[in-house]
Chains A and B, each alone.
Chain A
């Protein structure tokens, strides 16, 4: 299995004159799978933005290596980087005469010649970007007149126009109201799962990231970074230990779950308690619809220690590991 992004012994931080590099975290060893949405979470000052900047080449690593599609990032030219990774930053574009279409068009600049003339294929990609991000109707509006949510979608449209396999987003959901957050995340889920983009986003909004991300990267000041499935990290208690406040989030209620897509069948979860709640959380995130009774063909029984997955009255797997359970479920229903 080769990763689209592979981080090996990467030290991130900043350079201080006289003292050299000051690392923010122990060396990182992390990787990204193609077509996955990964949430980067951690308390303020834990190095989320620095990591994103380092990965996108906007900041230099102190040591270690980043491999992008198998190639060491140090050996990539600016142009090659521009065609591999696009970014959505917290920087605001403030020129009052820049229209949406102008900003999105600049996503094609790595592909155009010296004067930036756009080919018909470029224009098609620009229109596609605006279409997918849902900002086609805003194309002639000045970027300064858009709401925060619309602006974020325009920058995502620019990233789509840039046609990179990897998109990095720094706090894209900050400053958005709840409906805009859900709107934004459903766009990102769609991009990852349907357009096969690899998406890494940082966020303060723990609940939102847990609901949508396929994997979580957990950073804490001076702590070893942890990677894993959202619900598994919650159930293991790890997430709480990376934030100072352990009462940071509540257990999910069925009504709060967001169905990003419902391409899978109905499944019934029999049981209650924290583990059942987080199991439902994971199932909904993965596109399952939750059944109301045990008359459905597929049932998961949440027992004291382990889970039992039963399909058409046949026991498929009995395991204590939620990740193994969901893998078996996926294998059985693909």
Chain B
């Protein structure tokens, strides 16, 4: 019993550290930016004792930074979960939320919207005001859901799950090609707007939509937390899973749906954020050296939120003049992390055939 006990206290310690890191990152996001706000002021604003603090500070902390930090945390957690589900479903460490072409569907939706409004009005309507951002979100969500529906429909018609992976990648190419056509025939301003959207941002979610967005993503995450048992069985392979009493097709469908839904909603609001979905599951597995999903799922939620907050913090560091593109930061920070893990755990990745 002793080693198990030791292990249990280790697990608890890691969870405490992760929670502390999450809180620290969250506060850092509120403090830091083009204007540094003292920690004491931030806490005063958060606890509702804002007497003597300037109006603009309250607005910056609550309306901008708090909203953005929550968006980052929720998006990071959701993308990381979507990535874990894809990696387990396809039993492929390279799978990520974009692998089924869902984010490419979102891109296509946005590109079509930009082109239509651009040619209709001759101006870059979508960039301005609340209708613009709502339009972008809707277009991206519709595009993503369309691809998800195609994938879910196809999933019943393919013999093996790997075929679905190939179909997803092909859909990505088709989406990319269509986007290429649209870009070619679009005006410069529209293309620039599209490029901006494609870099991802946690600042698109406004104060008014924050609650809706957060609950939509947290709902998907909550469902995924209930999938630990089927996910574990799928690690053994479809046939072993079936022999253990798993209704394989139905569970694959549920996993596809949850992962696709999370990717669609997050991409719609934050743009195609790369890398978090790929990197975080690797980091989480390495933390506990386990593939047990009852442990992995909550770890991935915490780590995803931490990494997204960290990237958002780096992107808004003073000197970067507002916002660095979040996609550049996630890859720049995430890639070396994964390389480091793989080299450090060389022994684990051996004998893998």
A-side interface size class: 35 or more
Our pick among B228, B233, B239 for the contact of A89 (Cβ within 8 Å) is: B239
* A-side contacts of B237, CB under 8 Å: 89, 91, 93
Q: Which of B208-260 contact A (CB under 8 A)?
A: 226, 228-229, 232-233, 235-237, 239-240, 242-247
Partner-binding segment picked from A23-31, A95-103, A283-291, A298-306 = A95-103
**Interface residue? A81 (CB, 8 A):** yes
Complex contact B349–A106 (CB within 8 A) = no
From known contacts A58-B239, A91-B240, A116-B228, infer whether A102 and B246 are also in contact, taking CB-CB under 8 Å.
no
Complex contact A56–B229 (CB within 8 A) = no
Complex contact A115–B229 (CB within 8 A) = yes
Q: Which of B318-352 contact A (CB under 8 A)?
A: 345, 347-352
CA distance A82 to B248 in the complex (A): 13
CA distance A162 to B229 in the complex (A): 15
From known contacts A94-B91, A97-B290, A97-B291, infer whether A87 and B228 are also in contact, taking CB-CB under 8 Å.
no
**Interface residue? A50 (CB, 8 A):** no
Complex contact B285–A78 (CB within 8 A) = no
**Interface residue? A86 (CB, 8 A):** yes
Complex contact B239–A57 (CB within 8 A) = no
B-side interface size class: 20 to 34
**Interface residue? B289 (CB, 8 A):** yes
* A-side contacts of B235, CB under 8 Å: 93, 95, 98
Which of B240, B289, B345 has the most C-beta atoms of chain A within 10 angstroms of its own C-beta?
Answer: B240
B126: min CB distance to chain A, Å: 44
B179: min CB distance to chain A, Å: 35
Complex contact B233–A87 (CB within 8 A) = no
From known contacts A95-B91, A96-B352, A97-B285, infer whether A102 and B245 are also in contact, taking CB-CB under 8 Å.
no
From known contacts A115-B228, A116-B229, infer whether A109 and B348 are also in contact, taking CB-CB under 8 Å.
no
**Interface residue? A114 (CB, 8 A):** yes
Closest to A96 in B: B348
From known contacts A91-B239, A97-B289, infer whether A79 and B229 are also in contact, taking CB-CB under 8 Å.
no
**A311-333 near B? 1/0 per residue, CB < 8 Å:** 00000000000000000000000
* B-side contacts of A115, CB under 8 Å: 226, 228-229, 294
Our pick among B236, B243, B349 for the contact of A56 (Cβ within 8 Å) is: B243
11 new A-B pairs (CB below 8 Å) besides A89-B239, A91-B239, A106-B240? A85-B243, A91-B237, A93-B240, A95-B235, A96-B348, A97-B348, A98-B291, A109-B245, A112-B229, A116-B294, A144-B348
The list of the 3 closest CB pairs from A to B, nearest first, reads A82-B245, A116-B229, A97-B291
11 contacts between A and B (CB under 8 A): A53-B239, A81-B245, A82-B245, A83-B245, A93-B236, A93-B240, A96-B352, A97-B285, A144-B348, A145-B347, A162-B244
Residues of A within 8 A of B (CB): 53, 56-58, 78-79, 81-83, 85-87, 89, 91-99, 102-103, 106-107, 109-110, 112, 114-116, 142, 144-145, 162
